[in-house]
Amino acid sequence: MYKRKDHHYVPQFYLRNFSSNDSRNCVNLYNLKQGKLIPQVSIKEQAKEKYLYGEDDIIESKLSEIESSTAPIIKRIIETERFGSQDDKDQVLRFIMYQYSRIVHREKLMKQQMSALWGTELDDPIMNKGLSVKEMVEMVEEQLPYLQFLDLLLLKNSTDIPFITSDNPVVLYNHLMEKNASMVSAGWANKGLQVIIPLSPDYTLLAYDIFMYKPDKVVSGKDIVRVREQEVKQLNGLQYINAAKNLFFDESMDLEIVKTYIEQYQVKRREMQEPRLISLGSFRLVIGPEIRINLNITGCKLSMAGRRYRRNNRMAEFRHDDFERYRASRDKTVEGFMEDIRKGNSQ
């Protein structure tokens, strides 16, 4: 049986949407560390690692199946500006959650948080036994119930500035909690969640909490709103802040514009690498970095409930009461998994 050695953590079909050549096999790349544009790189060679999900090929095969089911749906969304059936929406949301969890950069950030919580170095044995990309992907099925009460909105670019993407394209945001100055906000189960992923130079997908936001559908009968220049710049800025190493875009993107995002948001990007440790007596909590740039999509404003909302004293609030019951019923959460690791290393 053939086994794939190279496991892509950003699907090739996705990056092809940002390719402008006839064969759609190349894309422009900007490497953040080198500060260098590399034009027309092979998509096949991007965002991959050998045996990222293990050598048994089980997870890679599953991800390939999800991609095969999702690619034609996204293609149809881009071509028709329509989402289709609820099953199609559910499939896209499932793909987005998997995409968020399969990024190599996610493992690094989680290790940074564990290091801050336990006062260890990143090369400590505890860190080496931390949650791997493979294990994060395996745990996605437990998180799928948290996709309930999200709906999709297509943001259409009405400017001459294309949308860009990155090697970490799924951004979790929460305008509701940003407005209410909450420390913890952008979790899959949280009230006010917004999930953002560019689909092409012309379209970005926004998943939003149906209770806290109300879209202004300017095109009758379609779940689509047009975004203005300032919003396009902010959405592109999110990709720069969230990227691991590389930005991707087509040939129509002006490199000087990309550099303006770097100049404007480089402090925010640095903040994303610095988990905050809060100590209350013997209680220690690590607040993971969250992106906050005062993003406000005018076509998807706070609903009446969102405008009336005032945060309480809880660290985070669930989008629905069912989520809290589900969380309590789970035998092993991510936190429990990490606690087992810590205890195992202390024995």
pTM of the model: 0.84
Encoded tokens for 255:
């490199």
What is the domain range of residue 30?
Answer: 6-315
C-alpha atoms less than 13 angstroms from C-alpha of 57 in its C-beta half-sphere? 7
What's 76-144 look like in SS3? HHHHHCCCCCHHHHHHHHHHHHHHHHCCHHHHHHHHHHHHHHHCCCCCCHHHHCCCCHHHHHHCHHHHH
User: Is 324 inside any structural domain?
Assistant: no
DSSP 250: -
- State the Cα–Cα distance between residues 39 and 17, nearest whole angstrom: 16
What's 256-282 look like in SS3? HHHHHHHHHHHHHHHHCCCCEEEEECC
Tens of pLDDT, residue by residue over 256-312, are 999 999 999 999 998 877 666 555 555 455 556 778 899 989 899 999 999 999 887
Q: Could you tell me what percentage of the chain is helix, strand and coil, using 3-state DSSP and rounding each to the nearest 5?
A: 40, 20, 40
User: Is 263 inside any structural domain?
Assistant: yes
User: Is 146 inside any structural domain?
Assistant: yes
Task: Look at residue 119 and tell me whether its pLDDT is greater than 80.
Answer: no
User: Is 343 inside any structural domain?
Assistant: no
Q: Which of 8-12, 72-76, 216-220, 285-289 has the lowest mean pLDDT?
A: 285-289
98 neighbors 66 (Cβ within 8 angstroms): yes
User: Is 104 inside any structural domain?
Assistant: yes
User: Is 341 inside any structural domain?
Assistant: no
Number of domains in the chain: 1
| Residues 201, 52, 46, 253, CA torsion sign | positive
Task: Look at residue 226 and tell me whether its pLDDT is greater than 50.
Answer: yes
User: Is 344 inside any structural domain?
Assistant: no
Task: Look at residue 21 and tell me whether its pLDDT is greater than 70.
Answer: yes
User: Is 216 inside any structural domain?
Assistant: yes
